[in-house]
Structure 1
Amino acid sequence: MCGICGVVGRRSATPLVFGALRRLEYRGYDSAGIATLVDGRIARRRAAGKLDNLKHVLDESPLNGTTGIGHTRWATHGAPTQNNAHPHHVGGVAVVHNGIIENYESLRDELVAEGRVFTTQTDTEVVAQLADHYLQSGLAPQVAAFETLKRLRGAYALAMIFEGHEGLMIGARHGAPLAVGWGEGETFLGSDSLALAPLVIRITYLDDGDWCVIRPGEVIFHDMTGQVVERPVQSVARLDAAVGKDGYRHFMEKELHEHPSVIGQTLQRVVDPVTREVVLPELPFALADIPRAVITACGSAYYAGYVARYWLEAEARLPVDIDVASELRYRNPPLTEGGLALLISQSGETADTLAALRGLRASGQHVMSVLNVETSTMARESDVVLGMDAGPEISVASTKAFTAQLSVLAALTIAMGRARGVMTPARQQHLMAALLDLPSEAERIFQLGEQIRAMAHIVAKARDVLYLGRGSCFPIALEGALKLKEISYIHAEAYAAGEMKHGPISLIDDTVPIVAVAPSTILFDKTLSNLQEARARGGKILAFTDETGAERLREIAEAVIVLPHVDAFVAPILYTIPVQMLAYEVALLRGTDVDQPRNLAKSVTVE
């Protein structure tokens, strides 16, 4: 997950591109760079680390030119070094890229065999090498760019500039967002509307598979057949009203696609990118002194807390109790003095959670809240707030806030484990690496849209659906069932897979889909056994797993969706995205009101 931007115009490009990168920094902060055309030649400035490091480089060595591209990076292939920083410059082309080129190894081998020398560890360099290869064969820049795009497999948003071609930029989108902004006599390209908003008077969103030829005040859009296509232009006035959807059909669809950026933006708040240590706000108590924790929340936030219970007990060896806030506030349980009350809420105004907070404080608990709105009542009444940068959620069904909550709770778990002296530095590094890889892995989920839609056709016909999971993915099964109920109005229930034999198995026949959240890393053999029992009774198995799990599930499952393999610690975060996408696709098929489902409100501020 990275941020890209570009400009062709009349003003100096560098300050415009740098300002856009500043607005995109939530998408990555491992390194950054800008390339412009100076007297027709490509010139670059790059720096490892946060964007301020690039600013220092630019202050010491300014970069002129009116055509430029920029990049802020979340490292995927290759360490976050200056050499691996974008833009990549090869011969007559410079490239910035957001996404993953899946066939880069075969392309690189082909180009190396032709004598080309690669100088970085990134997948993106193959784009620049390939484009330059076509340039050197005599093709014009836009033809060379198109031939390059036709060879790429994976997800990408790209911007290219070319030596000797002032005022020309090529942009392309496949599986990653990209928008064109229209200014006065200049044209911009950016990963999202946030990057472009202060610069433009109109905006156009590229459709998936589009590429475009950009000149000052002019853009020609093409599809991947090379045909010229028309794309709607929104004025600033319309953009103000519609920016929330960014060209998506529903707010929920847009917010689903924001999962990668939200995870990255949230981690940026709690992780030092240089030391890769968790950085929490100043605490009025010591984590090492916490004897016990109680977690409480409502709805999806409760499920996030449920995952955190698994994490905190397993990785930090901290005893944890958990209850829904509407029950905890009246249950009056005995609590250990000096314990930690961990409350989770998107709005910070949820009535039951707020009431539980006050009761827990009165019982002598330290109050820590995980919130998306840091000016809320819960924020003001907490001892410490762990903020998350999910941005506003317009759709009633929570999506991106859930993965933001999990990201914060995962970081808290690592900090708690180190503070309590039960997590080794090696284990910390391992978990942190898995966590920081998540934004790029999450972006890959959106390449599975067609498969998820096919699975949705099976679920949409059902009257009842069962969701199964084990370990820390059991709460993700709960989340999947909740989303399906909320927006498609299909009855769905989730169970810990081992509980199948204790009642739910009696519901299974050939009309009941069973959605399994089953990464191969978490009690997979046990889950497989439970699914075989369900299949023997006619159940339709629909599985989310990884390649290892898929090899064994395909024999019994009607549909298997293969997700990227990730560490068991972060699997609940990654697997959240496709189960939410499934609910969305089912709701579309059933024609329900996705953003405003019946009888529900976004923030429950009354009991």
Structure 2
Amino acid sequence: MCGICGVTGLRHATPIVFEGLRRLEYRGYDSAGIATLVDGKISRRRAAGKLDNLGLLLEEKPLAGTTGIGHTRWATHGAPTTSNAHPHGTDRVAIVHNGIIENFETLRHELEAEGVVFETETDSETIARLIDLYLSQGHTPKESVLKSLKRLEGAYAIAVIFAEHDGLMIGACHSAPLAVGYGDDEMFLGSDSLALAPLTRRITYMQDGDCVVITPAGAQFMTFDGEPVEREEKIAALTSGAIGKDGYQHFMEKELHEHPLVIGQTLQRMIDPATRQVVLPELPCNLAEVPRAVMTACGSAFYAAMVGRFWLESVARLPVDIDIASELRYRDPPLTKGSLGLLISQSGETADTLAALRTLRQNSAHILSVLNVEHSTMARESDAVLGTAAGPEISVASTKAFTAQLTVLACLTIAVARSRGMLDAAGEEELVTALLDLPSRAADALAQADAIRSMARIIADASNVLYLGRGSMFPVAMEGALKLKEISYIHAEAYAAGEMKHGPISLIDNTVPIVASAPFTPLFDKTLSNLQEAKARGGRLLVFTDTKGAERVSAIAEQMVVLPHVHDFTAPVVQTIPVQMLAYEVAVLRGTDVDQPRNLAKSVTVE
């Protein structure tokens, strides 16, 4: 959500900041802006809508200066208008802000009582006005920022520049990510290393409660009390070429085709090819002694957790509780001391999942996180991290990160089952062999693009779509329905297939496509029976099955996609790929913004 990019140095700032914002588009936004210092004065350009609108404005009214900050805004307080777009500021100061200031109304009333006049509906303007007030009282820029930070409540990352202080930029963060980049006689600030990838690989990831004073010569880190602190400089693995489309029409299309590679890279991290055993990093607890696990996540990651629960309970016989992260801490469930808190997030910055992590920590749980960004806030606060090796995922709709999460959870399940005595050497070898077969089976699924495209033509004109699955296929159905809603804007709902006759069957007629995930697993016959019930009521059945189930499915399906038959254990991974592809093909037919669907953000860093 939202994106920050800043630079101070010798080069023209605007093109550097604009390109940084372009690389942050994946986070989701609805307005954008840049502010620079021109002859010591703050000058801003802001536009509602896509970055292209800001680009046109900059062509019409160029913005000079070598110190600048930019922002892509995802609206929270106030409509997505030009006036509410960042940067916000006064004649003395300009700021950009990610997050939410929870006490902004109190601060706003206080400032208005001092005669301050606000121009926007945003909580972010409060930060600029507060800093400006302290500047007007004679405090230095650093003093004004530090005094303001002590007044702010909520989650935030900010970048600030000041009139008559060319070459100075101050950043700060609390429960929101911010990274400092090092160049030659220039310095950078960004929401993440991806924004800075073409500029530098030398990165410092700021910690909660950090403030940084940046000049072209370097960075000074301190606490909100102004006490100096040391922060490690790291070499980022990400390269500037990592986010090109490589000839694909959309990032989502490219990332769909990276499923085999990502699954393979993740398996390489977790399986010893010589012994064909799962090898995990040092974990925070003895898996054999864990009384139960508590899994939590948001969005697609929650559906990955649902599959993980199915595996952990059925294979490892480990009791698992599962909660949507935004509900867990408010539900305040009783937690068994010594439980394993298992959290899943692509970004490692998801606000609700991070809050759930802290709730589990307060209840003496061991914290293990499955993350794609291993320098994230969640990584720092976890006892151990299992990395997904998915690389940068630019499309807002998650694809390859999801199958990478499933791959990690499958490996973890094997390790837990082995430690608990539920899987002998032969059983482990059988499941590991099935996992090692996944990259080639994922490629086989991608090869069904023509059949999936044919299905998409049926769905593209629909108003409502039902997705069905049983057992581990139910979360796959939920993932398919979510993807369709996210990028095609068609209403879709997923149901456990056995629940159809308990209400949803009343929705079925010949205008409602029914997408079913029905591989030949032990629940195939049950699923087929449910599909026959839908067929009898005029339902248009679009079925993803496999070579063993195809003959029986063909008798009732209007269309089907035949995937390779795989081990029951790995079937959810293979079945996920075509339901994601189906959503993509429908969105293309409908002409929606596939990579940046309306109202959505990639990394949800606010509650």
TM-score over 0.5 for the pair: yes
**Aligned match of 1:491:** 491
Q: Is contact 1:471–1:522 with CA below 8 Å preserved after alignment? A: no
Report the AA paired with residue 458 of structure 1: I
Q: State the Cα deviation string for residues 462-515 of structure 1 (Å, max 9, x = none).
A: 100000000011100000000000000000000000000001000000000000
CA drift of 1:548 comes to 1.7
CA contact (8 A) 2:284 2:368 kept: no
Q: Residue in 2 aligned with 1:266?
A: 266
Letter in 1 for 2:431: L
The CA distance in 1 between the partners of 2:402 and 2:272, in whole Å, is: 22
Question: Could you say what secondary structure the match of 1:548 adopts?
Answer: coil
Within 5 Å, which residues of 2 pair with 1:370-409?
Answer: 370-409=370-409
**Alpha-carbon distance in 2 for matches of 1:264, 1:548:** 25
AA partner of residue 485 (structure 1): K
CA–CA distance in 2 between the matches of 1:548 and 1:459? Answer: 26
Contact 1:470 1:522 in 2 (8 A): no
Task: Please tell me the residue identity of whatever aligns with 1:565.
Answer: H
CA distance in structure 1 between the aligned counterparts of 2:278 and 2:587, rounded to whole angstroms: 38
Provide Cα deviations, 1:68-118, integer angstroms capped at 9, x if missing partner: xxxxxxxxxxxxxxxxxxxxxxxxxxxxxxxxxxxxxxxxxxxxxxxxxxx
Distance 2:489 2:285 in 1: 45
- Counterpart amino acid of residue 440 in structure 2: S
**2: CA distance between counterparts of 1:243 and 1:468?**
34
For residue 589 of structure 1, what is the aligned residue in structure 2? 589
| Equivalent residue letter for 2:251 | F
Matches of 1:523 and 1:314, distance apart in 2 = 14
CA distance in 2, matches of 1:585, 1:242: 24
- Aligned residue in 2 for 1:431: 431
| Residues 520 and 545 in structure 1, CA contact (< 8 A), matched pair in contact too | yes
Q: Which amino acid aligns with 2:408?
A: V
* Aligned equivalent of 2:520: 520
Question: Which consecutive unaligned segments of at least 5 residues does structure 2 have?
Answer: 1-238
Aligned residue type for 2:250 = H
Query: Distance between the aligned counterparts of 2:422 and 2:591, measured in 1?
Result: 50
Written as runs of structure 1 = structure 2, the 5 A alignment for 1:519-538 is 519-538=519-538
| Aligned-partner residue type, residue 450 of structure 2 | E
Residues 329-368 of structure 1: CA distance to partner in whole angstroms, max 9, x if unpaired? Answer: 2111001110000000000000000000000010111000
2:155 alignment partner in structure 1: none
Task: Judge conservation of contact 2:446–2:577 (CA < 8 Å) in 1.
Answer: no
Name the CA distance, whole Å, in 2 between partners of 1:287 and 1:242: 36
1:562 pairs with 2:559? no
**Number of the residue aligned with 1:351:** 351
The equivalent of 2:299 in structure 1 is 299
Q: Distance in 2 between matches of 1:421 and 1:570?
A: 21
Change (3 A) 1:489 1:522: farther
Q: Which residue of 2 aligns with 1:455?
A: 455
Matched residues in 2 for 1:548 and 1:368: separation?
37
Shift of 1:243: 5.3
Q: Secondary structure in 1 aligned to 2:467? A: strand
Q: Which has the higher contact order (CA 8 A, sep 6+)?
A: 2
Q: TM-score, normalising length from structure 2?
A: 0.60
Asked if 2 retains the 8 angstrom alpha-carbon contact of 1:266 and 1:404, the reply is yes
Q: Does 1:475 align with 2:475?
A: yes
Q: 1:325 — aligned with what?
A: 325
Please report how far the alpha carbon of residue 244 of structure 1 lies from its aligned counterpart in structure 2 after TM superposition: 1.7
SS in 2 for 1:341: strand
Whole-angstrom distance in 2 between the partners of 1:606 and 1:390: 24
1:552 maps to 552
> Match of 2:338?
338
CA-CA distance at 1:554 after TM superposition: 0.8
Distance 2:433 2:478 in 1: 27
Deviation at 1:522, TM superposition (A): 3.9
Asked if structure 2 preserves the Cα contact closer than 8 Å seen for 1:369 and 1:382, the reply is yes
Letter in 2 for 1:358: R
Per-residue Cα deviation, 1:396-454 (whole angstroms, up to 9, x for no partner):
00000000000000000000000001112111111110001000111112221111000
Q: Distance in 1 between matches of 2:283 and 2:481?
A: 36
Counterpart of 1:601? Answer: 601
**Amino acid of the residue matched to residue 345 of structure 2?**
S
Tell me the SS of whatever aligns to 1:428. helix
Q: Which amino acid aligns with 1:452?
A: I
1:276, CA displacement in angstroms? 1.1
Equivalent-residue separation in structure 2 for 1:493 and 1:480 (angstroms): 9
SS for the counterpart of 2:294 is strand
Hey, what's the Cα distance between the residues in 2 that align with 1:428 and 1:480?
30
Distance 1:273 1:556 in 2: 43
Q: Which amino acid aligns with 1:570?
A: T
> What SS is found at the alignment partner of 1:385?
strand
Alpha-carbon offset, residue 388 of structure 1: 1.1
- Residue pair 1:515, 1:541 contacting (<8 A) in 2 also: yes
- The equivalent of 1:279 in structure 2 is 279
Letter in 1 for 2:601: A
Superposed, 1:352-371 pairs within 5 Å as: 352-371=352-371
Contact 1:476 1:517 in 2 (8 A): yes
SS of residue in 2 equivalent to 1:294: strand
Report how far residue 240 of structure 1 moved.
Answer: 5.7
For 1:255, the equivalent position in structure 2 comes to 255
Q: Secondary structure at the match of 2:336?
A: coil
Q: TM-score, normalised by structure 1?
A: 0.60
Q: Report the Cα offset of residue 311 of structure 1.
A: 0.1
Query: Does structure 1 retain, via aligned residues, the 8 Å contact 2:513–2:541?
Result: yes
- Aligned-residue offset at 1:242: 8.8
User: For each residue in 1:143-189, what CA deviation from the matched residue of structure 2 results, as whole angstroms up to 9, or x when unmatched?
Assistant: xxxxxxxxxxxxxxxxxxxxxxxxxxxxxxxxxxxxxxxxxxxxxxx
SS at match of 2:341: strand
Q: Which residue matches 2:16?
A: none
Q: How large is the RMSD of aligned CA atoms in angstroms?
A: 1.3
Q: What's 1:214 paired with? A: none
Residue ranges of structure 1 left out of the alignment (5+ in a row): 1-238
Paired position in structure 1 for 2:503: 503
Contact 2:243 2:394 in 1 (8 A): no
Match of 2:418 in 1: 418
Distance 1:406 1:522 in 2: 20
Q: Per the alignment, in what secondary structure is the counterpart of residue 269 of structure 2? A: helix
Identity %: 74
Equivalent residues of 2:456, 2:582 under 8 A apart: yes
In the alignment, residue 303 of structure 1 is paired with which amino acid? Answer: Y
In structure 1, what is the Cα distance between the partners aligned to 2:401 and 2:240? 23
Q: How many residues are aligned here?
A: 370
> Which runs of structure 2 are paired with 1:65-84 in the superposition (5 Å)?
none
Tell me which stretches of 4 or more aligned residues in structure 1 moved more than 6 Å. Answer: none
Matches within 5 A, 1:189-200: none
Q: CA deviation at 1:241?
A: 6.9
Q: 1:272 to 1:493 in 2, by over 3 A?
A: same
**1:416 aligned partner, one-letter code:** V
| Distance in 1 of aligned mates of 2:241 and 2:305 | 34
2:205 equivalent in structure 1: none
Q: Which whole-Å CA distance do the structure 1 matches of 2:241 and 2:260 have between them? A: 24
User: Residue 571 of structure 1 aligns to which amino acid in structure 2?
Assistant: A
| Structure 1 SS opposite 2:515 | strand
User: SS where residue 570 of structure 1 aligns?
Assistant: helix
